Amino acid sequence: MKKAILSVVLLSMAVWAAAQVSVTARVNKTSLTLDDELTLSVEVNGASGNMLMPELPSLPAFNVYSREVQQSSINGKTSTLFRYVMLPRFVGKATIGAIRFTHNGKTYKTDPISVTIYRNAQSVPNTRPASSSAKVSSDGNYDSAAVKRPVEKADPNLPPLERNLANQAYARGDENYFLVAAVSDQTPYVNQSVTLAVRFYYNRSFYDAPYQKPSVSDIFMEDAGSAQGTQSIGGVLYRYEEQRYLLTAAAPGKATIGPATVRYMTGSSPFSALDRLFGGSAVSAEETAKSDPITLQVRALPAAGKPKSFYGAVGEKYTISAEADRTQVEAGEAVTLSITVKGPGNLKPTGDLQLAPIDGLKIYNTQATSGSVPGNNGQIRGYKVFKTVLVPAASGIYTIPSVKWSYFNPKSATYQTLQTDPITLTVSPSTKTDTGFNFGAAAGNGFQSFSQDIAYLKTDAAPEPSFLTRLSAWQTLNWVMLAVLALSVLFASVGRKSLAQKRAYATAKNRLKKAVSDEAIAEAVSGYLQHKLKISTGSMPLKSILQALHKQGITPATAEAFSLLWQRLDAARFAPASADTQDAQHLANQALDILKLLEEESK
Amino acid sequence: MMRRILISAVWVLCLAISGWSQTEAQQAEEMYRQGKFSAALGLYENELKKAPNNPYLYYNIGNCYFKMGSKGLAAANYYRAFKLAPRDGDIRHNLTLALASGGERLVPAGVPAVLHQAFFYLSYPELKGLVFVFLWLFCTVASIWLIKRKLGRMLVASAVILLLSGGWFLLRRSLEQQHLAVIASPVAEIRSGPGTNFPASASAAQGHLVTIQDDKDEWYEVIVQSQGIKGWIEKSAVEQI
């Protein structure tokens, strides 16, 4: 059973492989005169390895005088072209019957082709090729370089880049291999994407063709894909290989694109490929095709009218859209907002979108991704997607407002602004109670801090100034009062001393009346001398005391009496006698008499 | 009779002014609640002309500016309110928020918040009043001591308290004498001289605190405290506190 399945699979693969071979026959014109050449091309695609020449049917109306074989391999696909150049023999309708081609035991047949042969050129209504299928690989005359033709002009309705390339190719249609380069705009603005196309045209086979891309200065260049195609130049079908680049200038001024080169190996005679195919020896030569350098004049963007939402995009037909991955969430859950900008050229160098704060939503940093995809007419379309995460802190209805994005339109030389539609988010209260990471939703302790705002207005009356504030307001009064206080203290202090002097005798008298010892008498006398006569007796010898008394106007007799009293008191101080109250009272009376004399004489 | 009529007229006038004032404050609050911050601001500024030392009016004006997006002017008005009523929690909270929006801090880095609150517990006039109280106390005790030779320990204690409060007062006085200002325009350019012909060396966003050092024509020489940058700023870009 397994073997049967394997056989079916292998058979299917063989059938599939066989189906890949296609054979097409074409002529370069269906109406011709007896003086014209007719080129019959038989193209075999998908066949590889050894192959036989196609079997031509009987051609009684033509003489076949030349044949050629070209083989090329592009992207692993082999294509072989057999060309026959024929001369008509008779006027009238002629049919080229089915051409048979056998490969790997399978025979392929082409459809018959009808041509009309006229006697002269005036009679020829149309000389279009029999087929213009896009799959035609190569066609044309035996030696196009030998044919002199008027230079053709490209269709003016073609895009500038295509028209430029085609015109350059028409101008060089007398060469079998050539390289041309053109840009979509030679005076772009800063940041405007310009397409550079480099085309290698050929109508002969070649091999080993290393390509060197153009060097650029003051401009950023990146690959934008490759393409293949055909172009009829002077009735000869050329094939071309095209490489495209996207150029972006970051600063105004001149920018230069150097020449691109292709070094290719080609046979030395038209039959070399045929010779190689059938085992003959070939002589090859290396040649170089080079494109012309191009200079761009980069223009600065106008400063006038530049909107805040301009991030550097220059081009036409941009679009913007915004989308939230969900519009109904719980508080604390994340919503991904995607804003997509699409348009011509490369959006990679443009700045990142700045989202304005939205009340109640925490906005995380925006992540941008960009890229490009092939567009129509060989243009490149870029895209940039800005993604950000929004987290609503509390339940409610939130509106993500329109986001503005501006670009410079080089055609109208004006800034134009696009904006997204607002998006409404419906946020329900959070049901999460865990303490895990949930973008700030309700935590386990039931408390949730959303954001900080200022406290509300003060609607009460302002507090009355405090006592201390009022006190500080009476600054002058305070200083005056303090000055009064200081003066009062000063006067009080002086008055206190004067009062003590006045009351010295009365105080001493009271103390002497109450004295019951010599010591108490001595203290009373010392106090009197200190307060009344300002004589400090603490450490003063008697002689000094007597001198002080003399200065106070005390008579010698009174001074003598005081001297005796003082000596008596000194003796009692250092040799205390027995405590006799009557003696003490007697001594106190004597002392009082002496103090009375001192009081009288000191006045 | 004439005297009675005069007294009655004064009373009626006072009552009328009081009633009208209350209505205007209520209107301002209503405007604020409706999001008409500019209209509320106009009403509060009218009120302020009548009571220039009312901290709550400065606070409400700051709120209006904050909601209008003028964080610099908001900070300036909160600061004025803070100087008048430093113990008010709402004023401190809003001032902290307004300063933070400009990258500034009310409590300097490294200073404990409690210490800052203690240092600014009293307003400058209150602190001056406190120093007078302690001066009175000291003088009284000193008088007693001079006359009676009593209360010697209390005299020493009152002298120490007076010295401490005097030091506190002098520190606050040095801060009060700084010409503090806030950047009020969205962005202010700091130039090396008083004129646009001098190159701009830096720019400061609104809400940054600066101290004014000098004054020439339409320019202030300032120091941006948080950055330690010195330069000249146009007067129109700065709001003095």
Whether A417 has a pLDDT exceeding 60, the answer reads yes
User: Does the beta carbon of A283 lie under 8 angstroms from any beta carbon of chain B?
Assistant: no
The rounded percent of chain B whose pLDDT value lies above 70 is 91
Per-residue pLDDT reduced to its tens digit, A2-46: 555 545 444 444 444 444 788 889 888 888 887 777 888 888 888
How large is the average pLDDT for residues A405-421?
Answer: 91
Size of chain B, expressed as the number of residues it contains = 241
Least confident piece of the model among A69-73, A252-256, A268-272, A545-549: A268-272
Min Cα separation B128/chain A (Å): 5
| CA nearest to B85 within chain A | A463
pLDDT at B77: 95
pLDDT at A223: 83
Q: Which fold has domain B180-240?
A: SH3 type barrels. (2.30.30)
Name the more confident of A218 and A251. A251
Q: How far apart are alpha carbons B97 and A452 in whole angstroms?
A: 8
The domains found in chain A, sorted by start residue, are 22-142 (2.60.40.10), 160-298 (2.60.40), 315-428 (2.60.40), 500-602 (no CATH)
Q: Which residues of B49-70 are buried (b: 16+ CB within 10 A; e: fewer)?
A: eeeeebbbbbbbbbbbbbbeeb
Q: Is the pLDDT of residue B93 over 90?
A: yes
Structure-model confidence comparison of residues A490 and B84, the more confident one: B84
| pLDDT tier at A530, thresholds 50, 70, 90 | confident
| Contact flag A492-B146 (C-beta cutoff 8 Å) | yes
Give the β-pairing of A22-27 and A77-88.
unpaired
Of residues B22 and B87, more confidently modeled: B87
The residue ranking higher by pLDDT, A272 or B182, is B182
> Mean pLDDT over residues A517-532, rounded?
85
Residues of B in contact with A497 (CB under 8 A): none
A518-533 vs A581-602: helix crossing angle, rounded to 10: 10
Q: Which helix (H) or strand (E) holds B202?
A: strand B200-205
Cβ contact A336:A389 at 8 Å:
yes
A178 forms bridges with which residues in the sheet?
Answer: A201
**A121-159 pLDDT tens trace:** 666 665 445 443 333 333 333 333 333 445 677 777 788
Q: Produce one character per residue of A331-342: b if its CB has 16 or more CB atoms within 10 Å, e if not.
A: bbbebebebbbb
Contact state of A482 with B139 under an 8 Å Cβ cutoff: yes
pLDDT digits (tens, 9 = 90+) for A184-211: 888 999 888 888 999 998 877 777 778 8
Q: How far is B151 from chain A (nearest CA, A)?
A: 15
| Residue numbers in A near B56 (CB within 8 A) | 458, 460-462
pTM value surpassing 0.80? no
Closest chain B C-alpha to A498 CA, distance in angstroms: 13
Task: Give B90-94's long-range contacts (Cβ < 8 A, gap of 24+).
Answer: B90/A455, B90/A456, B90/A458, B90/B59, B91/B55, B91/B59, B93/A454, B93/A455, B94/A454, B94/A455, B94/B59, B94/B62, B94/B63, B94/B66
Span A380-391, pLDDT tens digits: 788 899 988 888
**Eight-class DSSP state of A300:** P
Please check the confidence at residue B5 and state whether its pLDDT lies above 70: no
Considering only CB atoms, which chain A residues are within 8 Å of B129?
A: 466-472
pLDDT value of residue A135: 33
Nearest to A462 among B55, B74, B136 (CB): B55
State pLDDT tens for residues A550-595: 888 888 899 899 898 888 888 776 665 555 677 788 888 889 999 8
Assign B155 a pLDDT band (cuts: 50, 70, 90).
very high
Dihedral sign from CA coordinates of A361, A366, A369, A375: positive
For chain A, what is the mean pLDDT? 78
Distance CA A51, CA A265 (A): 23
Considering the four listed CATH numbers 3.40.1160.10, 1.25.40.10, 1.10.150.530, 3.90.550.10, the one that applies to the domain covering B2-107 is 1.25.40.10
Residue A272, pLDDT score: 43
As beta bridge partners, residue A368 has A386
Instruction: Name every residue in B having a CB less than 8 A away from some CB of A.
Output: 25, 29, 32, 51, 54-57, 59-60, 62-63, 66-67, 74, 85, 90, 93-94, 97-98, 122-123, 125-130, 132-133, 135-136, 139-140, 142-143, 146-147
